[in-house]
Amino acid sequence: MAVLCRPAVAVPEHVVTLEETLALARAEHRGHPRLALALRLIESTGVRTRHIIRPVSRTLVQAGIGARHQVYVAEAKARIPAVVEEALDNAGVEARDIGMIVYVSCTGFTMPSMTAWMIDALGFRPDTRQLPIAQLGCAAGAAAINRAHDFCDARPSANVLVVACEFCSLCYQPTDDDVGDILCAGLFADAVGAVVVRGEGGLGIRLERNASHLVPGTEDWISYSVDDTGFHFRLDRRVPGTMAPVAPALRGLVERQHWDVSALDFYVVHAGGPRILEDLQRLLDVPRTAFRHSWATLAERGNIASVVVLDVLRRLFEEDSLPEAARGVIAAFGPGITAEMSVGTWRSRDPWPAAG
């Protein structure tokens, strides 16, 4: 049975506080007729600090899509190796033990995929399978875990490396000034994460089953429009209310495992924003403390897209309070509106020796 091991997550060195975000919004959108509303919305996100790959002064003055692409590639190649090495160490495996790499990112695009570069530069076998995922947004981290789970179920001795690389600051567009645009500029941030799913052995979450769910009629609620300056993030005002149709799908997955979604031992939930977390807590009938790791990620990192689920998972491992066979759920939400979900049990005793 596949085991989701301890992840590694790294955030860039440039920190933006809530106070700095509010000051920047006032300066960049001076005279905006709805600036006061945008500022209130930014404050209500609960985000206190965010990390970005470049200083704010350089982030605010963006060039065209070509220049952004060059920054994305250079920063990804500089930051991925250390995170990958830590994730492999956490799982007790080496690069040669990996059968597939799943790479997810919605903030940069390369061809060939970054998986090809990793295989070439980081010591993975030439026959390592590649699965790049570029268009699932914030749901992609959980989707990658699910695809790794499927791969290991089909090949029980295989190991899969998941890498999520998100530089949301590269999508900042100075000319986008709707209230939603200003809010997103104060919500999203940058991070890189990696985690190994082991087919045999390992400590962490033993993955039991997974599922996907698309909410009909929501295709354009989270989207990109693209022009010569790059990606323009579009967020419909109805997005914060999407947990109402998503919660039954999550509840159904847990019930197929013959568990009670309101009485699980852990919840690794995407921290898309406060309304998402508050509504899901209410709909699943769980206390705020059940989502404490999601709230902490939101406050300290902001919305780091597909890396969120890995950062929440990292906090669960660091807390180290779960008993053997504790039951829980992993869930993330993104464009579509799409939910990627899985359930599993905590494994603190490894019946197999480390690979290698």
Neighbouring-strand partners of residue 197: 4, 160
Distance CA(216)–CA(121), nearest Å, equals: 42
Question: Rounded to whole angstroms, what are the CA distances from 23 to 19, 36, 216, 274, 326?
Answer: 6, 12, 39, 22, 44
Which residue in the list 5, 106, 138, 165 is annotated as catalytic? 138
* 320, 348 contact by CB (below 8 A): no
Q: Exposed, middle or buried, 54 (CB in 10 Å: 0-12/13-18/19+)?
A: middle
Cα separation of 213 and 281, whole Å?
19
Tokens of 12: 């860039």
Known catalytic membership, residue 152: no
Catalytic residue positions?
138
